[in-house]
Structure 1
């Protein structure tokens, strides 16, 4: 119970910080971005990093490679998010932080490759403020973006789940 309360407090503090950040325009997102999680007590904290998540790529046509991972030779591999049922990923997130998950994912990665872009950039209202969002094509997920100095901070919102996942992006 105490751990849940601490996670809730941390989530609330980070959400307040995120709300205070500057908005972002879609054109500002074009390019390649290196990502990292922003620990907030969310079940997915540490999962993407364990699986060698690289970040995101945004194209001039406002389409995006939502999930870019590093391949065995350091190459970037765009993964199709639809292969990961998000509700199951949230429920079993602790498994995603294990060496077994990392090993399994490295073997599955070539088969999970996206056949094209997997999300769109658009303007959306978040917490009463218009900012840029990345809307996944085949998942109930929206990433909202705000700027903090030289980085962009993302807030992943899964429809029906009250816990946002926070992450940082640095332009490569």
Structure 2
């Protein structure tokens, strides 16, 4: 099974990843450009026991909106009524190209937090992100699925 097929199955909730599997799969994926990331993406986490993942779940994290290279809303969440809003309590972000794990790809850099999300392509509509938060011991892997604009 290809890395893309395995990751798409995990995104769809088919099975769970073995220890170290997400890292190995991530390393096999192609890079993306910052412009590839433009648009709205719905997100999800693979590892729900991670402290950062638990925080995203508690916030009712919906995804990210890349309105422009310099204008990224990193935390789209749902309110009590289910409406999507931009949580700005952790600041905004911007896109850049950065080297991570030996490959230059799009990265989202928070303006006010020591966090960088590094992206690699699974398909035209799905990317995997590696959240590198300086305060965390491990990397949180998450997925984003492109939302079709109406």
TM-score range (shorter-chain normalised) is 0.7 to 0.9
1:95-151: CA deviations, max 9, x gaps? xxxxxxxxxxxxxxxxxxx6xxx0000000001110000000000000000111231
SS at structure 2 position matched to 1:45: helix
Residue number in structure 2 paired with 1:151: 126
Q: Which one has the bigger strand percentage?
A: 2
Runs of 4+ with deviation above 3 angstroms:
none
Unaligned 5+ segments in structure 1 are 1-8, 83-113
SS at structure 2 position matched to 1:59: strand
In our comparison, the structure showing a higher alpha carbon Rg is: 1
Residue number in structure 2 paired with 1:23: 31
Aligned partners of 1:43, 1:75: CA distance in 2, in Å? 25
What pairs with 1:1-172 in structure 2 (closer than 5 Å)?
Answer: 10=19, 12-39=20-47, 42-82=50-90, 118-149=92-123, 150-159=125-134, 161-172=136-147
RMSD of aligned residue pairs (Cα, Å):
1.9
Aligned partners of 2:104, 2:48: CA distance in 1, in Å? 23
Aligned partners of 1:164, 1:156: CA distance in 2, in Å? 6
Higher RCO (CA 8 Å, separation ≥ 6 residues):
1
Aligned length: 129
Aligned partners of 1:59, 1:134: CA distance in 2, in Å? 12
Scaled by the length of structure 1, what TM-score is found? 0.68
> Residues 124 and 133 of structure 1 are in contact (CA less than 8 Å); yes or no, is this contact kept in structure 2?
yes
Cα displacement (A) at 1:74: 2.8
Q: Which one has the bigger helix percentage?
A: 1
